[in-house]
Amino acid sequence: MKRILALTLIAVLCLGIVPAFSAKEEAAEVDLFAAATWNKGAFYHTETPNTGLAETRRYTTISCKEGDVFSFKFNSKNWNPYLYPADEKGSIDGNYVQVTDGMEYHVKAINGRVPTTLRITVCPSPDGVISDDMWAKFDVNCFRSDGKLPEIIKEYNEFDELKWKVGSYHDNALHEDKGMRYAVLPCHKNDVYTFEFNNNDFGLRIYYYDEKGELTDFETTTLTKTAEIRINAKNGKVPSELRITAYPIAGGEITDAMWEEKFDITCTKESDFITVATMNYGLWYDGGTKYVPDNKVEETLAKWKFMFDRHDPDIIGGQEWLKHFDRSNKIPVEEYLFGYKYAYQYVADMENFASKFPITQYEKHYHTNSTRYYTTGYVEINGKEIFLVNVHLGIEPDFNISRKAQYEDILNLLKDKEYFIMFGDFNAYTTSEFKVFKEAGYSVANGGAFGTFNTWTHFGTESSWKNQAIDNIVVSSNIKILKVKCDRRELSDHNMLIAELQILNGDEEENTSTDTSTDTSANTNTNTVTDEPSASTNTDPKTSNVILPIAVIAGVVVAAAAALCAFLFRKKSTASK
């Protein structure tokens, strides 16, 4: 009995810790303050931070522009934030605002000067020292909206996603140099980068690196106005990173204004490596009604955009798409949610593709004897024509009513396609339904070699599906599945399923992701596979301060529980003797 009680104690304590951590991380992902770098000290009216207040204040800066609206939310009365607007010349006339719960701050001109930076100073309430433990409980949130629709980009620019920093890479080292900017661009064999220069203000140098350091067998490339770089092996080595240094042709320091206004070098990529995702949008479900309520639009849009940015799919196959995101029908989805990154969008009723590549021959097809339909199209990826299929199958529990015939339609459609990627909400009641694709020699992202991912969230209601792995990505045998992830943000009644793929040429290794394992439907409802960490995971000081105390507490609690368990076992063993 004592053993059972001890083990139960461990389980309860661990289960109590994990949700607390998960909830904190989820909140931080859409909060500007969570992404900020907080320093010890304070910003007041002066141009230099007051580090003499390191024990009692924290400060950060957030970039802004005219028309931005910042909203603040407090979960307690433990903090007093103050906001100081500034432009390139410094603090604007000593203006400051004490931030209150629910406050909105509209960025506009002050005495003819428009703020470009908000300097935020946080004081504890009541006043006193801010310890790391106390800072871990900082719970003031900041969200930004510019009230405008972003422009639709005509072509996806790889450079738009890079994080440019002051300095340069050369001689296998990072150098601090205000006359340079640098960024790191991951690459693979057969990637092709095309660069275009629109002026004579900047130049670029490319340095080639692998995981062990600079590849000395590769020469540094100085780019001219138009250039193409193809990533190939040399002496058995293949670069895994391009470290790029941008420099002004005329020399001198690169100011932020110069960088933003004049840096107009574009970079597009062709690659055999792509990331794809399938997502049933749930008619922009918010957990209770269709469409997002107006008072949740800003926060919910930020979460959707964060999810797309984090996983950065090249192609999204979506189901239950609607033209507008919000209940007031003011936010057009094609522009506001996808337009900033996906130049090519294709819609047929409630199915869509959002793509960084143009899709040709886009068509809608009805299944045999059904009102259900699927959409198809073709995309060219690095010279290879890929057939795309987006499906949304029947919802009936009885497989024979609709889905059996729909699967037959799909298999007939795919049998003569050399390369294909299929996205979809299959509404599968057991993962055994996916066996038809494995038996045909195809690979499945969900229920295959990478495990089973529960994509049906049903927002805490009782699920009508025995199986919750109802969404999938299926690929032809000459496309290799490298990684599978499931984003559990619960922005819909489905979770997004993401797969990283390699389009094979025929001379690469065999597609080891093709899976012929047995049915795993018996344990799909206890899936433990979670979203894997990525390079974009937030590791700023504030988030680290949250993680560290929780990790320490978790370790102490588990160790204490384990010690208690060992003591009880030892005591019983001694008594037996």
- Domain carrying residue 437: 273-526
Whether 135 is covered by a domain: the verdict is yes
| Nearest Cα to Cα of residue 367 among 340, 339, 343, 389 | 389
Distance, in Å, from the CA atom of 132 to the CA atom of 543, rounded to the nearest integer, reads 12
Domain holding 312: CATH number? 3.60.10.10
pLDDT digits (tens, 9 = 90+) for 138-179: 989 888 876 555 554 445 567 766 788 899 887 778 888 889
How high is the pLDDT of residue 416?
93
Whether 533 is covered by a domain: the verdict is no
Helix or strand (DSSP H, E) at 307: helix 297-311
Whether 241 is covered by a domain: the verdict is yes
Measured CA distances, 410 to 417, 441, 446, 556 (Å): 11, 14, 17, 54
Mean pLDDT highest for which of 117-126, 227-236, 300-309?
Answer: 117-126
Pair 410, 291 in one domain: yes
Tokens of 212: 């062990």
Pair 359, 440 in one domain: yes
Determine phi and psi for 576, rounding to 5 degrees: -65, -35
Pair 293, 253 in one domain: no
DSSP letter for 57, please: -
* E strand map for 10-64: 39-40, 58-63
> How many CA atoms within 13 Å lie on the side-chain side of 349?
12
Pair 346, 312 in one domain: yes
Distance, in Å, from the CA atom of 289 to the CA atom of 267, rounded to the nearest integer, reads 42
Pair 470, 410 in one domain: yes
pLDDT digits (tens, 9 = 90+) for 325-345: 888 888 888 888 888 789 899
Pair 508, 399 in one domain: yes
Pair 264, 285 in one domain: no
Measured CA distances, 142 to 3, 62, 151, 356 (Å): 47, 10, 24, 31
Measured CA distances, 483 to 191, 433, 502 (Å): 19, 22, 10
Tokens of 453: 């991912």
Pair 119, 219 in one domain: no
Pair 489, 553 in one domain: no
Tokens of 514: 């093709």
Could you say which of 270, 286, 301 is where a domain stops? 270
Tokens of 200: 């004579």
Whether 153 is covered by a domain: the verdict is no
Whether 501 is covered by a domain: the verdict is yes
**What is the Cα 497 distance to its own chain's centre?**
12
How high is the pLDDT of residue 499?
95
Pair 252, 389 in one domain: no
Average pLDDT, whole number, for the chain?
79
Pair 305, 389 in one domain: yes
Could you say which of 270, 304, 321 is where a domain stops? 270
Whether 321 is covered by a domain: the verdict is yes
User: Domain total for the chain?
Assistant: 4
Could you say which of 95, 124, 145 is where a domain stops? 145
> How many CA atoms within 13 Å lie on the side-chain side of 411?
16
pTM of the model: 0.60
pLDDT digits (tens, 9 = 90+) for 430-475: 888 999 999 999 999 999 989 889 888 765 554 556 678 899 999 9
Tokens of 286: 């918010």
| 8 A C-beta contact, residue 67 and residue 119 | no
Measured CA distances, 285 to 77, 288, 330, 396, 461 (Å): 33, 7, 16, 21, 14
How high is the pLDDT of residue 297?
83
How high is the pLDDT of residue 15?
46
pLDDT digits (tens, 9 = 90+) for 519-572: 333 333 323 233 332 223 333 333 333 334 444 455 555 555 555 555 544 544
Whether 532 is covered by a domain: the verdict is no
In percent, how much of the chain has pLDDT > 70?
Answer: 77
pLDDT digits (tens, 9 = 90+) for 392-403: 999 888 888 888
Distance, in Å, from the CA atom of 508 to the CA atom of 391, rounded to the nearest integer, reads 30
Pair 262, 279 in one domain: no
Please list, residue by residue across 490-518, b when 16 or more beta carbons sit within 10 angstroms of its beta carbon and e when fewer do. Answer: bbbbbbbbbbbbbbbeeeeeebebbbeee
Banded model confidence at residue 510, pLDDT cuts 50, 70, 90: very low
